Amino acid sequence: MKKIKCKFNINGNHKDLLIYEEKPLIYVIRDDYNLKGTKLGCGLEQCGSCAVIIDGEKKLSCNILAKDCVSSKITTIEGLSSNDNLNKVQDSFKKYNAAQCGYCTSGIIISLSALFNKNSKPSKKDILKSLEGQLCRCGSHSAVFKAIENLMKSN
Amino acid sequence: MKNNFLETGPSIKKHNKLTDWFLLDEDNKIKINSGKIDIGQHISSTLALICSKNTGVKYEQIEVNKLNTKFSPNEGKTASSLSASHSGTAIKAASIELKNQFFQYVLSKFDCKLDDIDFENGVAKKNESNEGISYWDFAKTEIYKNIVIKDIIEFDKYSINQNDNNQSIELKTIHKIVTGEYIFVHDLCFDNMLHARLIRPPNYYSRFIDIDKKILDKISKLDISFFVQGSFIAILSKDEFLVSKFLDIIKNSIKWKSTRNLSNKDTFTSIDQNEKDSLLVKDGGEAVFERIPVLKNFDGNSNYRSKTITFNRPYLMHGSIGPSAACAIFENNKYNIYTHSQGIYDLKSTLSKALVTSEENINLKYSPGSGCYGHNGADDVAFEAAFIAKSFPNKHILLKWTREDEHCWEPYGSASINKLTSTIDKKGEIIYWSHEVFSDTCMTRPSVSELYNFVSYKLLNDDFIKRKSTPKTAPHMGIHRNLDPIYNFKEKRLVKNLVHDLPLRTSALRTLGAFANVTALESFLDEMAQLANIDPFDFRLNHLDDKRGRDVLLDLRGQMSLDKEKQGCFRGIGFSRYKNLAAYCAVGIELSVTDDVEIDLLKAWISIDAGEVAYNDGIRFQAEGGLIQASSWCLYEEVKYDTHEIISKDWSNYKIIGFDNIPEIKTSVINRVGYPYLGVGEVVAGPTGGAISNALCNALGQRIKTMPYTKDNIMKELLN
Ligand code: FES
Ligand code: FES
């Protein structure tokens, strides 16, 4: 197995790393950057827990190869806020306590942040599209919708 | 019944010292020790709110310590919707005792009356003086250290300004969750830690034979360790990517020998044909080994009309989004284990037997896992991590199950068959009710006497025996939970059948038997209401004396009447009191069925009575989450398997509900001030099943009897 040198930009933090060519991005995020907010749920692009924003688009980091992200700007859940200044989606989720166990929550917040960054007044269809593939088993969905409703009102 | 006295319940009986529950070692902070854990139900926030309300200290100043077997009270499992009634009641009792004793102390110190005291946020001052005594001053006294919480305590003795139950609070965990800083057991990180993954056999009955030696050479060059004992296999590496990368490669280079098939028959044929233990379920819900009366037959009597129906429920998965995980280290002959088990104290004694060491050598710390809905893989993985750790001393072993491990190896909610027969008289009154349930066990938690309930304990010992479970008999235990209806039917015949030799591993999944039993009961009630030509609400109320139950049904009726029913949409209702002694809940569902025979859930209404409301939003979150999960069970879920292996290996083969089919939910919580707290994690599922089944029946004009209500299952029944 070959290792290669790669430069990453995750949450504005630039790092030169020597990584296995086949390493998926999630392990660079969680292990090399020690950013644990991005969760591993399936490793199969089926649950959305590992979602991150790559160059403005939501992507699933569990299967995407890290080496293919070298020239990209990657944002994880930790990169959405600075100090205690939460982004609007996080703020609304916090206000509406929109999580139960919270395992799925960062992926959901990432998906919605990617959407709201591009479109501050998305339609219901846009919202459902962005949440496609984001699984939650605890049933936090109705609280998530309340948080989204609040977000739409404040935009 | 409301009064000014509080019975403190089972947790205080075990741990009656105030210092078991509270730590006041830092000014202006109350630290709570609880024996319950946050498994998605926000119990820590509820406990902090109860403490705040009853001590007068601000919610923000109250912290809840994570369970640690070194210092936390043993409150048994965080299960059976008992978090609020056990720990909530204990914290309420401890808070009131603290307040009562504190005021007694303050009054004697100041030599004054209660009216002369100003009290704010844990500090009492004599009117117009600056002299004050705080809880934290009091905590330094010998009196405080020796406070014993009584069995019954007076809660209105020294009233203070109480906070509002409906206050909007920030959940204790929410900030860290939304910023990604909330640490799950999966996220733990220690120096020299090894990441581990398991290599599971193709099924429960496969024996490890051999591995291709070339693979072992290859992985050892990469510093990946291979661990095998019996048919239990793990690989370990400092690099998590490497263990995940080589998992499939190693799996494919192993030879297994299957010792038996999973099954050669389909689930419901097996349930029907296999050997079973049949028990009579008595009034009050206890199961007994007594002669089962033959089914009565009223045919030929024109005063009566009867109906019979059979419902099928497939195997269901817990399906936590984050697979089970645990972290363990073995050093100086002691184990330190981080776990998200529901029953941490029970696990400690079971592990001590399984690991052949004394309990003093094991310390378990709760570390959050993904949402927990019963006995999932948490106990298994804690044992596995600890077992591996012994062979790699002084290093933390972080073992994570894969998605496939979780889907294929967790103990499922058992498949079941419910057979019902009922008879009404001319007035539409039910005079005979027979309900038989057939299912596998819901109780295979590992215990000191049943170590083989750890799935890997069996693999380690190459133990491929399928053991017979013994039927549980306590009221509403397991399969027969809520089989005894709360309604006042004149004559009942209730039978629990524990079916043996069924193909899949099963144990406690949210509600145990209650989901299938209540869904069947509430569906069949609608059938009988239709036969009697009586409105389903009226039909239920006609058979229900319980005042709180009636109030919940009337509340639901009121809620639903405010929303006009649209054309093309169909409604159904369901009702239950969990175990006939806990929370009450009625659910209404509105749905439509598309031309492509897909069910769109449009609206849902929940009316719930969970005793005194400790945290209104907390009840709402649990209730709505329960409704969504139960909707998913009804519409989509079924564990699939063939003769050799489980086919539902990941989410592509086990669909669950998504954001695109969530109904608009309205929840009404009835507050019974002064009544005991009752948990709500499970009560909503059964009524939801009934409401969906009834709404679907109204939409199709025919009862669908086999879950899930997929296009295939619906069409099969419609065309039959
Ligand atoms: S972990 Fe990437 S989608 Fe599930
Ligand atoms: S909140 Fe637990 S999985 Fe979504």
CA distances from A60 to A40, A67, B217 (A): 10, 15, 33
Secondary structure class of B570 (helix, strand, coil): strand
Residue B169: phi, psi to the nearest 5?
-115, 160
Question: Residue B385 corresponds to which amino acid?
Answer: A
Helices and strands, counts by H and E, chain A: 5, 5
| Parallel/antiparallel/unpaired status of strands B599-609 and B664-670 | parallel
**Distance from the alpha carbon of residue A106 to the mean position of ligand 2, in angstroms:** 10
Residue B269's pLDDT band, with cuts at 50, 70 and 90, is very high
Q: What CATH number does domain A88-154 carry, 1.10.540.10, 3.40.30.10, 3.30.70.2970, 1.10.150.120?
A: 1.10.150.120
- C-alpha closest to that of B622 among B568, B651, B665: B665
Please tell me which residue of chain A has the smallest CA distance to B180.
A37
Residue with tokens 């200290």: B57
CA distances from B89 to B46, B92, B584, B610 (A): 11, 5, 19, 13
Question: pLDDT of A37-53, one tens digit each?
Answer: 999 999 999 999 999 99
How many angstroms separate the most distant Cα atoms in chain A? 52
Return d(Cα B655, Cα B277) in angstroms, integer: 33
| Parallel/antiparallel/unpaired status of strands B152-154 and B194-199 | unpaired
Q: Supply the pLDDT for residue B173.
A: 93
**Closest partner residue to B245 among A22, A103, A142, by Cβ?**
A22
CATH code, residues B5-176: 3.30.365.10
Q: What is the fold of B275-313+416-501+510-718? A: Aldehyde Oxidoreductase; domain 4 (3.30.365)
Residue B158's pLDDT band, with cuts at 50, 70 and 90, is confident
Secondary structure class of B528 (helix, strand, coil): helix
Q: How many CB contacts within 8 angstroms connect chain A with chain B?
A: 174
ipTM above 0.90, yes or no: yes
The CATH H-level superfamily of A3-76 is Beta-grasp domain (3.10.20.30)
Q: What angle do CA B562, B564, B568 make, to 5 degrees?
A: 150
B499 in Cβ contact with B271 (< 8 Å): yes
Residue B519: phi, psi to the nearest 5?
-60, -45
Model confidence, pTM: 0.95
Please say if the pLDDT value at position B9 is more than 90: no
- C-alpha closest to that of B206 among B644, B646, B505: B644
Q: Supply the pLDDT for residue B162.
A: 59
Q: Supply the pLDDT for residue A39.
A: 98
| Parallel/antiparallel/unpaired status of strands A13-20 and B132-134 | unpaired
B246 in Cβ contact with B224 (< 8 Å): yes
Q: Supply the pLDDT for residue B165.
A: 57
Secondary structure class of B670 (helix, strand, coil): strand
Average pLDDT for chain B = 94
Sheet with B117-120, edge to edge strand ranges = B117-120, B123-126, B132-134
**Chain B residue numbers touching A135 (CB-CB < 8 A):** 321, 651, 656, 658
Residue A1's pLDDT band, with cuts at 50, 70 and 90, is confident
**Chain A residue numbers touching B402 (CB-CB < 8 A):** 43
Q: What angle do CA B437, B440, B441 make, to 5 degrees?
A: 105
Question: pLDDT of B320-341, one tens digit each?
Answer: 999 999 999 999 999 999 999 9
Q: Supply the pLDDT for residue B3.
A: 61
Question: pLDDT of B119-133, one tens digit each?
Answer: 999 999 988 788 899
Helix (H) or strand (E) holding B80: none
Please say if the pLDDT value at position B72 is more than 70: yes
- Do A37 and B629 make contact, defined as CB atoms within 8 angstroms? no
**Distance from the alpha carbon of residue B623 to the mean position of ligand 2, in angstroms:** 14
**Closest partner residue to B651 among A27, A42, A136, by Cβ?**
A42
Average pLDDT over residues B186-205: 97
A108 in Cβ contact with A47 (< 8 Å): no
Average pLDDT over residues B28-40: 88
Measured between its terminal Cα atoms, the distance across chain B in Å is 52
Please return the burial class of B174, using the count of CB atoms within 10 Å of its CB with bins 0-12, 13-18 and 19+: buried
Question: pLDDT of B659-700, one tens digit each?
Answer: 999 999 999 999 999 898 898 999 999 999 999 999 999 999
- Do A128 and B660 make contact, defined as CB atoms within 8 angstroms? yes
Residue B530: phi, psi to the nearest 5?
-65, -40
**Other CB atoms within 10 A of residue B94 CB:** 31
CA distances from B586 to B124, B373, B559 (A): 45, 21, 11
Q: Supply the pLDDT for residue B353.
A: 97
CA distances from A34 to A25, A84, B180, B452 (A): 12, 19, 12, 37
| CATH class of domain segment(s) B192-260+318-409 | alpha beta
**Other CB atoms within 10 A of residue B117 CB:** 18
Report the share of chain B in percent with pLDDT over 70. 98
Q: What angle do CA B241, B242, B245 make, to 5 degrees?
A: 85
Q: Where are the beta strands (DSSP E) in B648-704?
A: 664-670
For residue B639, give how far its alpha carbon lies from the nearest alpha carbon of chain A (Å).
16
CA distances from B257 to B208, B233, B309, B577 (A): 7, 15, 43, 48
Return d(Cα B169, Cα A102) in angstroms, integer: 17
Residues 6+ apart with CB under 8 A from B257: B206, B207, B209
Q: What single-letter DSSP state applies at residue B259?
A: S
Q: Supply the pLDDT for residue B630.
A: 98
| Parallel/antiparallel/unpaired status of strands A74-75 and A51-54 | antiparallel
- Do A37 and B180 make contact, defined as CB atoms within 8 angstroms? yes
Q: Supply the pLDDT for residue B1.
A: 43
Average pLDDT over residues B483-488: 98
Question: pLDDT of B48-71, one tens digit each?
Answer: 999 999 999 999 999 999 888 888
Domain ranges of chain A: 3-76, 88-154
For CA atoms B381, B383, B388, B393, give the dihedral sign.
positive
**Closest partner residue to A77 among B180, B245, B617, by Cβ?**
B180
Domain ranges of chain B: 5-176, 192-260+318-409, 275-313+416-501+510-718
- C-alpha closest to that of B491 among B268, B231, B293, B322: B293
Return d(Cα B308, Cα B298) in angstroms, integer: 12
Pocket test for ligand 1, best of A39, A49, A106 (most atoms within 8 A of CB): A49
- Helix crossing, A88-95 with A105-118: angle to 10°? 130
Q: What single-letter DSSP state applies at residue B579?
A: G
For residue A74, give how far its alpha carbon lies from the nearest alpha carbon of chain B (Å).
15
Please return the burial class of B309, using the count of CB atoms within 10 Å of its CB with bins 0-12, 13-18 and 19+: middle
Return d(Cα A143, Cα B589) in angstroms, integer: 18
B72 in Cβ contact with B30 (< 8 Å): no
